Amino acid sequence: MKDMLKQARPDCFEDIIALVALYRPGPMDLIPEFCKRKHGAAFSYPHPATKPILQETYGIMVYQEQVMQIAQVVAGYSLGSADLLRRAMGKKKQEEMDAQRAMFIEGATKMGTSERQATELFNLMDKFAGYGFNKSHAAAYALVAYQTAHLKTHYPAAFLAATMSADMNNTDNIHIFVEDCAPNKVEVLA
């Protein structure tokens, strides 16, 4: 996690939210690309209509809501239908996915997207949706992470004492916290 944050150098709360959502098995592979794009690497959007949806995440699908918005904008899904698509993608039931694929491609072609591009976009969404994270959940975790970092930075002695007190029965964790005291200029007394 620390290496990821050093690489990403988040400069706004939205970056922290996205990194929380990406720091899980599956999407973790996208972190280096996310960081490159954040720091200026060129990238393109999977479809022109996805730019306003994927702009804050540098063209990478990070949240479940983005999949739903793409289905609405590109293929004309209603909000309810987009949620059914999201659920079907998460469950990976083949017959549901086949039906959703056909519906997405049909809707996208009616709205002016080529069948090839619609298929490529659906495949990208399908790949993502298996590990997509809800943005509101990521935001809640990001807020706790931000508050924790603030407390550790500005009140290191109180933070480390409270952390050790909360976990005093777990000697493995206590050892980690004690080792963290010296770099934070906190003296540990017997």
Tens of pLDDT, residue by residue over 131-166, are 778 899 999 999 999 999 999 999 999 999 999 999
Q: How many residues does the chain have?
A: 190
CB distance 184 to 156 below 8 Å = yes
Is 48 buried (19+), middle (13-18) or exposed (0-12) by CB count in 10 A?
exposed
Tens of pLDDT along 77-86?
999 999 998 8
Here the tokens at position 110 are: 């009616």
Q: How far apart, in whole angstroms, are the C-alpha atoms of residue 159 and residue 161? A: 6
Q: How far apart, in whole angstroms, are the C-alpha atoms of residue 158 and residue 154? A: 9
Q: Which residues of the chain have pLDDT under 70?
A: 130
